[in-house]
Amino acid sequence: MKNQMQWEEAKAFCETLTAEEDALTREMVARLADKRSLWTMAVLAEADAPLRFSRIIEQVKGVSQKSLTKSLRGLERDGLVTRAVFAEVPSRVEYALTLLGLELLEQVAPLWMWVAGSVGAFYRARRAFDRR
Amino acid sequence: MKNQMQWEEAKAFCETLTAEEDALTREMVARLADKRSLWTMAVLAEADAPLRFSRIIEQVKGVSQKSLTKSLRGLERDGLVTRAVFAEVPSRVEYALTLLGLELLEQVAPLWMWVAGSVGAFYRARRAFDRR
DNA sequence: CCGTATCCAAGCCGATACTG
DNA sequence: CAGTATCGGCTTGGATACGG
């Protein structure tokens, strides 16, 4: 039951947070579900170099300019990516992952791996459930 | 750079998934962002015993009957909680966390802890951004 | 007690058109 | 090139009322 303790530990730690901190924590976790934000960060991580807006939108397939802009603004606001504007014509804007952003990705990786590895279990559960 | 490798490893592993598996993985990760689902599971984990619908709705503050029902159905469908109906009047329904559900919570714990511990960094980033 | 059905307000997102 | 502005469809979620 050492695993259970890990969860309890997390719960206990969260109790020490102020309401504002707790809200912010939830907001950050919620970002993970926002497919686009996570995917955008992954693209930047993979490139391992600053990317222009147009390069990113190519790789995050299906995203609209508006949504990508919004995602990037949010990521920038929370210190997960940087935004550098170059005074050229035509204009050039480069985005890059921050250290904090990379750390977040690293934290997500094990969970993502576990979910991906357990996908069979979820699939079977659904099959069983849907059969009634 | 061993941390970076962890992320790359996850990316590589995801490449081996079928489109359907990948979609399901994303769906499961998305569930984590659904505040209510995670919170509901946490309540069940804390109770460490089956809970009635009405007990749960008391602890997941602010949730409507409709939303909680929807969350529980989703969790049940994916094998994260069980639902037991007792033929009594008035009717009684008990929900409990499955082993899979507990495992999921355990996987989430480290990430959640990291985010909670980094909340100061996010807060400072926002302050700096908003001052501009 | 537990769940469903309906209505309604708010927010998301893509498409499109326009600006520096 | 990298946005902003606007519109319209779609989904989400609370409130309420009702049924099993």
- Tell me the per-residue pLDDT of A69-99, one tens digit each, with 9 for 90 and over: 999 999 999 999 999 999 998 999 999 999 9
On whether the CB atoms of residues A75 and A101 are closer than 8 A, the answer is yes
Report pLDDT for A12.
83
Q: How far apart are the first and last CA of chain A?
A: 34
On whether the CB atoms of residues A66 and A14 are closer than 8 A, the answer is no
Give percent of chain A above pLDDT 90. Answer: 71
Task: Give distance CA A66 / C1' D4 (Å).
Answer: 9
Q: Which tokens is A13 given?
A: 């730690």
Contact A9 B42 (CB under 8 A): no
On whether the CB atoms of residues A82 and A73 are closer than 8 A, the answer is no
Contact B113 A9 (CB under 8 A): yes
Q: What is the mean pLDDT of residues B49-67?
A: 97
Q: What is the mean pLDDT of residues B49-68?
A: 97
**Tokens 């495992």 belong to residue:** B103
Q: Which of A14, A76, A107 to mutate to test the interface with B (most CBs of B within 10 A)?
A: A107
Among candidate residues B32, B21, B94, the one with its CA nearest the CA of residue A28: B32
Contact A79 B124 (CB under 8 A): yes
Largest CA distance in chain B: 62
Q: Is residue B104 packed enough to be buried (19+ CB in 10 Å), middle (13-18) or exposed (0-12)?
A: buried
Task: Give distance CA A64 / C1' C11 (Å).
Answer: 17
Contact B21 A126 (CB under 8 A): no
Q: Rg of the Cα trace of chain B?
A: 18
On whether the CB atoms of residues B11 and A42 are closer than 8 A, the answer is yes
User: Angle between the B35-47 and A19-33 helix axes, to the nearest 10 degrees?
Assistant: 120
Half-sphere exposure of B32 (CA within 13 A, CB side): 26
Contact B29 A28 (CB under 8 A): no
Q: What is the mean pLDDT of residues B48-69?
A: 97
Q: Which tokens is A120 given?
A: 């069979």
Q: What SS3 state is found at B81?
A: strand
Among candidate residues A116, A99, A25, the one with its CA nearest the CA of residue B113: A25
Cα gap B31→B33, rounded to integer Å: 5
Among partner residues A7, A25, A31, which is closest to B119 by beta-carbon distance? A25
- Give the bases of strand D that a protein CB approaches within 7 Å: 1-6, 13-17, 20
Supply the DSSP string of A66-114, one letter for each residue.
HHHHHHHHHHHHTTSEEEEEE--SS-EEEEEE-HHHHHHHHHHHHHHHH
Q: Which nucleotide minimizes the distance between its C1' and the CA of B88?
A: C1
Cα gap B25→A26, rounded to integer Å: 20
Residue nearest C2, CA–C1′ metric: B91
Q: What is the mean pLDDT of residues A31-36?
A: 84
Report pLDDT for A13.
85
Among candidate residues B95, B41, B99, the one with its CA nearest the CA of residue A121: B99
Contact B109 A6 (CB under 8 A): yes
Among partner residues B9, B32, B126, which is closest to A29 by beta-carbon distance? B32
Q: Which of A35, A119, A127 to mutate to test the interface with B (most CBs of B within 10 A)?
A: A119
Give B76 to chain A, closest Cα distance, Å.
8
Burial A40-56 (b: 16+ CB within 10 A, else e): bbbbbbeeeebbebeeb
Q: What is the mean pLDDT of residues A20-45?
A: 90
pTM of the model: 0.91
The residue in chain A having the minimum alpha-carbon distance to the alpha carbon of residue B14 is A116
